[in-house]
Amino acid sequence: MRAMWKGSVSFGLVSIPIQLYAATENKNVSLRQVHEADGGRIQYKRFCTIDGAEVPYAEIAKGYELPDGEMVVITDAEMAELPLSSQRTIDVLEFVPLESIDPIQYDRTYYLEPQKNAVKPYIVLRDALHKAGQVAVAKVAVRQRESMAVLRVHADVLVMTTMLWPDEVREPDFPFLRDDPPQIRPQELSMAGSLIDSLAEPVYESEKYRDHYREALEEMIEAKVAGEETTKPAAVTAKADVVDLMAALQASVDAAKKSREPAKAAASESKASTSERSDSDTEGEKPAKKPAARKRAPKKSA
């Protein structure tokens, strides 16, 4: 990994020099826009809509458009003069329980690595957070954008997740929320609970799931490279509208239980087989004969 920038975590009177790394990466297959007829790459040119001239990147500034269409031009030099107290500093403001923050506010996640002379204070903060069972709320500026952030411990490393500002989270203004709610029968609610219980797991294991679309795309690309014929995937048939909610919930519960039976049966058979082998070995054992006096017993391996 390559560090994005170097800065520090400001924790009271303590300053911990760190390096910031992106914690996630996009694994989507990268596709370019090309001319379908001959495969030529499509290129975009930056040009001015007023004089039609192509504009080099060095001459491009930022602009804020007013409601009447007028443009306020802002140069990079003017942007650099704006006060940004949290630039290169992760300023810890308070500590709160993790569950008090709604995940909808999370934006991007980064790893924090201590610089060589800051390993001890880094570990002190890490272990203190872990022991307290809380997360640190901080303010930080990344790529000329100031935001709130959460510092927490993950895999023995401090992790920072930037958060959206309150006005960046949209309100769910849907018509059905203003209508009178439909009458829900206790049986329907109970059946929905049964479906949840049948699919419940103690923890989320991401390794169980795969990106089938990405795998299919990669296989198609490999087949084209190898010169093989490709087949068009079958169209997905639309599901019929659910008429009987209870019947649909019951069918879902039955399907969920049925899908788990083979795994449970396999585990039971394996356990039974192991038990049978153990009993068979015990019954088939005969008392060991005492070795002759002139023979030495073999040494036991360590």
* Structure token pair of residue 86: 């949290």
Q: List CB contacts of 91: < 8 A, sequence separation 6 or more.
A: 10, 85, 138, 139, 140
- Amino acid (one-letter) located at 136: A
pLDDT of 263 reads: 58
pLDDT of 225 reads: 85
pLDDT of 230 reads: 53
What is the DSSP code string of 107-150? EEEEEEEE-GGGHHHHHHHHHHHHHHT-EEEEEEESSS-EEEEE
User: How big is the chain, counted in residues?
Assistant: 302
pLDDT of 83 reads: 77
Residue 18 DSSP code = E
Residue 47 DSSP code = B
Give me the residues of the chain with pLDDT under 70, please. Answer: 85-86, 228-243, 261-302
pLDDT of 268 reads: 59
pLDDT of 35 reads: 87
**Rounded CA Rg of the chain:** 31
Using the structure block, give the residue that is written with the tokens 């760190």. 18
